[in-house]
Structure 1
Amino acid sequence: MASEQDAIPSIQQSTDPSIQPSSDETIILVVEDNADMCAYIRQHLEPAYQVLEAADGIDGFDKAIASIPDLVISDVMMPKMDGYQLCEKLKTDERTSHIPVILLTAKAEREDKLEGLETGADDYLTKPFDAEELQIRVKNLIALRHKLQEKFKQQMVLRPSEISITSFDEAFLKKTVAVVEEHLEDESFSPDDLARAVGMSRAQFYRKMRALTAQPAGLFIRSIRLQRAADLLKKGAGTVTEIAYKVGFSSQPYFSKCFQEHFGMSPKEYKEKNS
């Protein structure tokens, strides 16, 4: 049987020009108790991505909560908490449920792969694997997340139940939208207030929202305000100024400017077109 060391290819500098930084903020957390394997993975993901490391599942979960990475790569066989347990914990925690997970294992049996997929793993790599395969799988999972972000951005109405995401993320988004709607008339309601209301730290909430919607939390709040304004304009529920106040804008000119940017027409034009 091949040893763990046999599963680690020699470390060479990656020269693939397609593996370029997708974002300065793209963070990958590698959870692996073998230092050589960690070094191999880091060698072929940096500088395209910022790589963090953890030596076991418990440390990995703590670092995932602290950093909210864009992707987790985890070994299966580890002390304290194995990769299956870590994956399940990440996928069932509201703070980390959106994060794609790749599991690494020296086992190639179908049952082992199924167990990983059942815990919510997004992909599987069997050791030994080469650098190109690792890079492609990472790149594809991050691209898939970006497509999901684009789907959010293109929707004029945010309806979380129509988005193909995990039930935990759907519940999180519904809760987040509901909290914003409860504070629509409060102009001072901020992203920090929203983070506290959903039970997350500022950093956790900001990275979660960016991962799911590709928007800063402030723009997310504003987009909900503007959409609700559009709904009120359709119903003829007041003048433009009255509706601006109802959705948290104290300045009617600023409201009109934001509305124009969001919908491509003024509130008055929108009302006339949809009345």
Structure 2
Amino acid sequence: MLPIQPISIDTEAPKIILSAREQAAVERPPVAVPEKISEPSVLEADAPLLLIVEDNTELREFLASELSATYRILRATDGLAGWQITQIELPDIVITDVMMPRMDGYELTRLIKNNPDTDHIAVVMLTAKASHQSRIEGLREGADDYLAKPFHLDELHLRLRNLILHQQRLRDQYRQQLAQPELPSPINVVEDAFLHRVYNLLETNLSDSSLDVNWLADQVAMSRKTLYRKTHSLVQLAPNELIRQYRLRKAADLLQAGHSASETAHLVGFKTPSYFTTVFKEFYHKTPSEFAAGGLNKV
């Protein structure tokens, strides 16, 4: 409690005498805030989707504010809400605290990394539990990165950017496996377990011209919406386009093996050789006959 009494404007306030050390502290210039890391400008619809799971309101909103210039932001107040949002929205990255009510960050990470719908999502643990054992536990559950509080924003930006770049490199790699017939067949080299499962399904049923998104969604036990988001996250292709490109890549392999264009069209599920020729030329810029005659080096 401080005694307060009104004073007139003419009253001289008592002077405060500071020590030399205190005076230097008062006169010290403000600490420079490091500049934000320059990020490539992206359209809002194309920006990576980031989920922040944090029960501390101030920190959650601070992170959302700082990252919203680069990422589309989702928020969750605990691990259970974060898991529900993750299943629906399939964000590119989840930033999660460890100690939270209802479900902690370890359990959330375990669920994300052990579910085929969500196992491609990167997880960053952001927590005050900075001990070696805590880091080991988080990494054991599948976390892609671990950042201790207090943290530097420039470091967080860099770590997120590196995860996004890694995801993009994988997408480019998977799409090249489909688009470049000089590369090994995608089913033999793809690293992602979900894509490998999809390719196996397509490989087994490729001659069936009725294959569509509904069939594929049933086979992998996903809704159409979840399947779309999953395939787009992995290869930036809609499911129907993934089916079509896999047909064409298989067709290229068959043509190289000596099959005729009409036989290949049937084997990869096109109803007519003429339509197969049109689609193949749009994708590989050669007719099937030209492709078969020209070999790999001329594609």
Query: Which one-letter code corresponds to 2:147 in the other structure?
Result: L
- Which whole-Å CA distance do the structure 2 matches of 1:22 and 1:151 have between them? 23
Q: Does 1:128 align with 2:150?
A: yes
Number of residues of Structure 1 aligned to a counterpart in Structure 2? 257
Name the counterpart of 2:266. Answer: 245
2:187–2:200 CA contact under 8 A, matched in 1: no
Alignment of 1:199-218 (within 5 A): 199-218=221-240
Give percent identity, aligned residues only. 37
Distance 1:162 1:185, change over 3 A: closer
Q: CA deviation at 1:236?
A: 3.0
- Which whole-Å CA distance do the structure 2 matches of 1:19 and 1:173 have between them? 29
Structure showing greater relative contact order (alpha-carbon pairs closer than 8 Å, 6 or more residues apart): 1
- Which whole-Å CA distance do the structure 2 matches of 1:204 and 1:33 have between them? 27
- Which whole-Å CA distance do the structure 2 matches of 1:23 and 1:139 have between them? 16
Q: Which ranges of structure 2 fall in alignment gaps of 5 or more residues?
A: 1-32
Larger Rg: 2
The Cα offsets for residues 77-119 of structure 1, whole Å up to 9 and x where unpaired, read as 1111111111111101000000000001112211111111111
Q: CA deviation at 1:22?
A: 6.7
1:29–1:71 CA contact under 8 A, matched in 2: yes
**Which region of structure 1 is more displaced relative to structure 2, 178-187 or 131-140?**
178-187
Alignment of 1:1-275 (within 5 A): 16-18=37-39, 20-21=41-42, 24-25=45-46, 26-155=48-177, 156=180, 157-160=184-187, 162-163=189-190, 165=191, 169-170=192-193, 172-237=194-259, 239-274=260-295
Query: Which one-letter code corresponds to 1:150 in the other structure?
Result: D
The Cα offsets for residues 150-174 of structure 1, whole Å up to 9 and x where unpaired, read as 11122235435534x4xxx42x222
Q: CA deviation at 1:234?
A: 2.7
2:37–2:157 CA contact under 8 A, matched in 1: no
- Which whole-Å CA distance do the structure 2 matches of 1:225 and 1:187 have between them? 10
Query: Which one-letter code corresponds to 1:117 in the other structure?
Result: L
Distance 1:210 1:269, change over 3 A: same
2:280–2:287 CA contact under 8 A, matched in 1: yes
Distance 1:267 1:161, change over 3 A: closer
**Which region of structure 1 is more displaced relative to structure 2, 244-253 or 42-51?**
244-253
The Cα offsets for residues 27-60 of structure 1, whole Å up to 9 and x where unpaired, read as 1111111111110110011132111111111111
Task: Tell me how large the CA RMSD over aligned residues is.
Answer: 2.3
- Which whole-Å CA distance do the structure 2 matches of 1:203 and 1:74 have between them? 25
- Which whole-Å CA distance do the structure 1 matches of 2:205 and 2:106 have between them? 40
